[in-house]
Amino acid sequence: MGTTFIYVTHDQVEALSLADRIVLMREGVIEQVGSPSEVYLRPATCYTAQFIGSPKTNLLDPEKFKIAMPSGKISKQLMKAGKEKQKYLVGIRPVHVQVDLHGKGFTVKRIECMGEENHLYMVMDGDQEQEEICAVVPPDFGPLMRMQKVGVHFPEENILFYNKETGNLES
């Protein structure tokens, strides 16, 4: 088309599908500028991570969640990255959360059937606050039931670290 135009919308799906570049603002302040892929895959702030994408990004306190990954615990990954776990939140998109039907450590609290995908909301066993972690799975993903025990894994390449104080993505 060769024409530049600015389109203002509060609809994230519309923004992601129409834009070449997105400027995400909150209260008049720019949170992030980037392509739809950049904003979705590497949200620059906790706000962007929670605003763009549905369901929203899981933001977890590594002190609380001892979530196993192929190489070990999140705390080991933080140490490997030279980060102190008490200063960071771990972010991961629900589409990247891997659910193991034969694992343990989490309980399925609810299942939302969205047609082409299911949203699983799970809580870590023993978590007094019952903070939910969401995973997106295909509709034919195993037999799933409420209160079922499952395992949860986060692929290292999909984990993002956010500074607890600033909310900014750490490289």
Q: What is the pLDDT of residues 135-163, one digit of tens each?
A: 999 999 988 899 999 999 888 889 999 99
Computed over every residue of the chain, the mean pLDDT equals 86
Residues 6+ apart with CB under 8 A from 132: 109, 121, 122, 123
Share of the chain above pLDDT 70, in %: 86
Beta strands in 20-163 (DSSP E): 22-26, 29-34, 58-60, 68-69, 72-73, 88-92, 98-100, 106-113, 118-124, 132-137, 149-153, 160-163
On whether the CB atoms of residues 148 and 136 are closer than 8 A, the answer is no
What's this model's pTM, rounded to 2 decimal places?
0.84
Q: How far apart are CA 32 and CA 85, in angstroms?
A: 25
| Rg value, the chain, Cα | 17
The average pLDDT across 83-98 equals 85
Q: Is the pLDDT of residue 70 over 50?
A: no
| CA-based nearest residue to 161, from 107, 96, 85, 88 | 88
On whether the CB atoms of residues 59 and 162 are closer than 8 A, the answer is yes
Q: Where in the chain is the domain with CATH 2.40.50.140?
A: 58-170
Q: How confident is the model at residue 1 (pLDDT cuts 50, 70, 90)?
A: low
Pick from 32-46, 67-81, 129-143, 157-171 the range whose average pLDDT is largest. 32-46
Q: How confident is the model at residue 74 (pLDDT cuts 50, 70, 90)?
A: low
CATH code that applies to domain 58-170: 2.40.50.140
